[in-house]
């Protein structure tokens, strides 16, 4: 063991006996750093879990890519076959999406009606697998509604609702054939499903409306930007391709910025706690003036003395970081397992607090805490290294 590390541990170990006040300040430093690290880990774990949960639900309710054309897609089946030839594409199905007004009794609300191919849709989105009432596929003249809308209006299977759309805005009666739950309030309140023929009848005027696009499912959702470019090059005008990332870009950009801001703000807790390390080391330097003088008189260099007090501060930071990491990981595991915090789904999109602590986030927190601990050690260590042996021993 190098003598610097030996002396650093020796000095810290003797604080409780020789300098109880400095020992208390050192303990406050450890607890402050631990609190900051634990808070950072929990917050980043929750925000990463929120991102992952939100992405999963968005991908489950929507296709990975959507191929559209001005005025609608003609010969949708042939276009879907062309799309399936592109590497990375797993499934494709025509769909028709239109904004409509749904009415039941005295209640009315604007919704998005999505008409789908009942045979191909289970391969493109997870909506057919998310039914809580009814069974897939929807029959002609039926509509599937989200659980939030069904709960608010008290809808049951077999109830009749009127859907108003198209050029003339004529009400079309449809039976409630199923209820689905995505876990996202917005979808469960404002998304409805039907067969594509039913949606064409609702959206069309004298003639059935054309499909508005081709929903595409990929083998790997994260490769959406690459496959999107390949599809755009293959199809060209008049088609354009939109990915699930594009459709929700503002939301994910806001979440990313919020995560960064929270990291910076909570890092300040660690920074404030680390200032106590400065006080601890400065008081240690004052109390160890004679020892420093003796060390330098027997040959210790300025760098060696500086390393002693730098290592002492780093040991305090390391202890706080280790304690905070253990507490933070335990809290993340408890939140993930027991889900004891409930959220209002109409505000936060989800009803439970998800936790997913990424290894990179955890490493960033640990490295940031240790880096701050090292930086705040530099000044006290520099003060100790500047002490001259003659002055240090003059009054001893």
pLDDT digits (tens, 9 = 90+) for 308-339: 778 888 888 888 899 999 998 998 888 888 77
Is the same domain home to 229 and 304? Answer: no
Give the helix/strand (H/E) hosting 160. Answer: strand 160-165
Measured between alpha carbons, how far is 200 from 211 in angstroms, rounded to an integer? 8
pLDDT digits (tens, 9 = 90+) for 152-195: 898 899 889 988 876 666 788 999 999 998 888 888 899 999 99
What per-residue confidence (pLDDT) applies to 306?
Answer: 79
144 pLDDT tier (thresholds 50, 70, 90): very high
Measured between alpha carbons, how far is 59 from 44 in angstroms, rounded to an integer? 22
What per-residue confidence (pLDDT) applies to 12?
Answer: 66
94 part of a folded domain: yes
Sign of the Cα pseudo-torsion (113, 115, 118, 122, in order): negative
64 part of a folded domain: no
pTM equals 0.75
What per-residue confidence (pLDDT) applies to 166?
Answer: 65
Q: Which domain-ending residue is among 237, 268, 296?
A: 237
In the chain, how many domains are there? 2
Q: Does residue 243 register a pLDDT over 90?
A: no
Is the same domain home to 44 and 88? Answer: no
Buried b (16+ CB within 10 A) or exposed e, 233-266: eebeeebbbbbbbeebeeeeeebeeebeebbeeb
Is the same domain home to 32 and 104? Answer: no
Q: Which domain-ending residue is among 187, 207, 237?
A: 237
Is the same domain home to 201 and 257? Answer: no
Is the same domain home to 223 and 105? Answer: yes
65 part of a folded domain: no
Alpha helices in 288-387 (DSSP H): 289-297, 302-338, 345-348, 359-386
75 part of a folded domain: yes
122 part of a folded domain: yes
Is the same domain home to 80 and 137? Answer: yes
Is the same domain home to 23 and 83? Answer: no
DSSP 8-state assignment for residue 248: T
DSSP 8-state assignment for residue 213: E
Is the same domain home to 85 and 50? Answer: no
Is the same domain home to 52 and 97? Answer: no
Which residues span the domain enclosing 224?
A: 71-237
Is the same domain home to 38 and 95? Answer: no
What average pLDDT does the segment 236-249 reach?
A: 84
Q: Which domain-ending residue is among 190, 215, 237?
A: 237
């Amino acid at each position: 063991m190098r003598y610097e590390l030996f002396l650093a541990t020796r000095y810290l170990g003797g604080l409780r006996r020789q300098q109880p006040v400095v020992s208390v300040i050192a303990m406050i430093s450890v607890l402050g750093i631990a609190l900051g690290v634990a808070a950072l880990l929990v917050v980043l774990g929750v925000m990463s879990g929120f991102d992952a949960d939100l992405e999963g639900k968005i991908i489950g309710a929507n296709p990975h890519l959507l191929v559209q054309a001005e005025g609608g897609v003609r010969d949708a089946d042939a276009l879907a076959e062309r799309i399936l030839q592109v590497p990375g594409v797993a499934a494709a199905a025509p769909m028709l999406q239109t904004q409509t007004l749904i009415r039941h009794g005295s209640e009315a609300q604007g919704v998005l009606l999505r008409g789908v191919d009942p045979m191909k849709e289970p391969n493109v989105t997870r909506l057919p697998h998310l039914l809580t009432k009814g069974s897939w596929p929807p029959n002609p003249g039926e509509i599937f509604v989200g659980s939030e809308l069904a709960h608010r209006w008290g809808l049951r299977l077999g109830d009749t609702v009127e859907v108003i759309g198209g050029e003339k805005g004529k009400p079309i009666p449809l039976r409630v054939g199923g209820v689905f739950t995505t876990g996202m309030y917005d979808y469960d309140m404002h998304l409805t499903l039907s067969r594509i023929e039913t949606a064409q009848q609702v959206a069309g005027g004298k003639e059935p409306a054309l499909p508005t696009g081709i929903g595409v499912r990929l083998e790997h959702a994260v490769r959406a930007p690459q496959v999107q470019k390949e599809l755009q090059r293959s199809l060209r005008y008049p088609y354009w391709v939109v990915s699930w990332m594009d459709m929700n870009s503002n939301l994910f950009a806001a979440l990313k910025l919020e995560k960064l801001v929270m990291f910076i703000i909570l890092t300040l807790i660690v920074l404030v706690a680390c200032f106590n390390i400065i006080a601890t080391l400065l008081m240690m330097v004052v109390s160890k003036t004679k020892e420093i003088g003796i060390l330098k008189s027997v040959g210790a260099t300025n760098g060696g003395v500086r390393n002693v007090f730098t290592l002492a501060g780093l040991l305090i930071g390391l202890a706080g970081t280790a304690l905070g990491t253990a507490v933070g990981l335990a809290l993340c595991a408890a939140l993930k397992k027991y889900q004891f915090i409930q959220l209002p789904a109409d505000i936060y999109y989800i009803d439970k607090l998800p936790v997913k602590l990424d290894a990179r986030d955890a490493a960033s927190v640990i490295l940031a805490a240790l880096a701050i601990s090292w930086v705040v050690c530099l000044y006290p260590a520099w003060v100790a290294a500047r002490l001259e042996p003659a002055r240090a021993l003059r009054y001893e």
